[in-house]
Each structure stands twice: as structure tokens, then as C-alpha cells.
Amino acid sequence: MATVSDGTSLSVTGAPSTSEGTEDILNADSKAAWTTNNADAKNGKKRRNKHLARMMRSNLASEAAAVRMFGVQSRLGGKRPDLEFFKDGEEELLQRIQALAPQYRTRPSALLPVVRATGAALGVLSAVLPRPYSEAIKGGAAEALIEQYNDQLREMRERGLADTEAAEPLRELLRALRDQPRVTHGSVKVPDVAEMQRPQDVKLEEGLAGVVKIGFKNLLNLTSYV
């Protein structure tokens, strides 16, 4: 309201006050920032869930192979107590993975039949070959499994997933999978990649263990993507 010199009152309306305009701008900026942050959070959660599902898919395949390997070896090996122990341990772990898989919406790998067949073949070979080569096959397969689970635990830490609530069940499962006994004391040494590049320094059974480890691990890595 304004008053001119002759006493007439005029009402002035129109543009909002400076404070109102500033408030509108701040509200718009806040809304845009919230929308962006919300979208980033959703995308981050989606990537995390996809990553965890990929790990679970690989673990389902690896334990299915381990169950087949020890199952076949146990049947052909005369029901040895140590083989029965290994088989029972792998079956229990496979059941834990299968129970946890729906939580991460994990689909089975398309390579699962191939992995199972590979596990069965390793079981047959380890049952019929002489003891040093049998132990080499088991040792190589066991090292491949242990490295896979250790790699996944390290990857979870590097990606910042290790301490998240969603990843906690998988992290505990990976520790159990990694620590599961799979070989007897005094098994054949499994050479690393550097040692495999010096074949003159590697015994025949050690070379066999190294080949099994590399081949088996590469197959298991594929199952996380296929």
C-alpha cells in the first residue's frame, strides 16, 4: 500500500519479494539434489545386488562341482572315512548356498552341467589314479576353490561391500567355504603361476596339481558371467 501527495491510497501488487524468490530457488535446488542422490542410491544398490548375485552364481557352481567330485570319489574309493567327511562337508555348504541364493535373486549358471561333469571327471580320476596323482587332483581343485573364495572376500572389501548389511550373510558363507577342509595332511604341493613357468623345478604330480587348479579356477570364473 502506498500514499501519493493528494492523499490517495494505491495498492501495489505484482512480483514476489526477494525472500520468496530465494526460497523458491532453494527449494528447487534441494529437490533436484534429492532426486539426483536418490537416483544414485538406487543405481548403487542395483550394482551391488548384481555383483553379489554374480558371486553367488559362481559359488553355487563351484560347490556343485565339489559335491560331485567328492561324491564320485567316495563311491569309487571304497567309502573311505576321509572322503565321506569331505563329501558331507561340501553337501552341507551347497545346501547353505542354495538356501541363501533367493535372497540375492541368483539364477543358476548356464555352465552348471559342464561344471558338474568336470567335478565328476575329477572324482573319477582321483579315485583310479595312483595316490600321488590322486592327491594332486584333489589338491589342485581345493586350491582353486580356496582362491575363488579368498578373491571374493577381497573384492568385497575393495568395493566397500564387506560391512554392508546386505552382504553380511554372503561374507559369513564365504568364510565357511574358504575354511572347509578338502585335503588330507601331507598332500601334494600346488605350485603357483611363477613356479609353473619353471617346469624343470616342478615334479610331475605338482605340475598336474597346478594344471588342475588353473583349469578348474578359470571354469569357475566363467560361471559368474554365464
AA identity, residue 87: K
Q: What is the pLDDT of residues 8-28, one digit of tens each?
A: 555 545 555 556 666 666 666
pLDDT of amino acid 180: 92
How many other CB atoms are found less than 10 A from the CB of residue 51?
Answer: 18
Domain edges within the chain: 64-223
Hey, CA dihedral for 83, 86, 92, 96, is it positive or negative? negative
pLDDT, residue 40, reads 46
The rounded distance, in Å, linking the Cα atoms of 127 and 182 is 15
CA triple 124-130-135, angle to 5 deg: 75
Q: Which of 102-113 are b and which e, b meaning 16 or more Cβ less than 10 Å from the residue's Cβ?
A: eebebeebebbe
Q: Specify the pTM.
A: 0.76
Question: Do strands 2-3 and 9-10 pair parallel, antiparallel, or not at all (unpaired)?
Answer: antiparallel
pLDDT at 215: 95
In the prediction, which pLDDT does 77 show? 76
In angstroms, the CA 137 to CA 126 distance is 6
The pLDDT of residue 165: 84
Q: What is the pLDDT along the chain (226 residues), one digit of tens a residue?
A: 555 455 555 554 555 555 666 666 666 666 655 555 554 445 667 777 888 899 999 999 999 999 999 999 988 977 788 888 989 999 999 999 999 999 888 889 999 999 999 999 999 999 999 989 999 999 999 999 999 999 999 998 988 887 788 888 999 999 999 999 888 766 777 877 777 777 777 888 998 999 999 999 999 999 988 8
What is the per-residue DSSP string for the chain?
-EE-TTS-EE----SPPHHHHHHHHHHHHHHHHHHHHHHHHHHHHHHHHHHHHHHHHHHHHHHHHHHHHHHHHHHHTT--HHHHHHHHHHHHHHHHHHHHGGGGTPPPPTTHHHHHHHHHHHHHHHHHS-HHHHHHHHHHHHHHHHHHHHHHHHHHHHTT-TTSTTTHHHHHHHHHHHH---S-TTPPP---HHHHT-GGGS-HHHHHHHHHHHHHHHHHHHHTT-
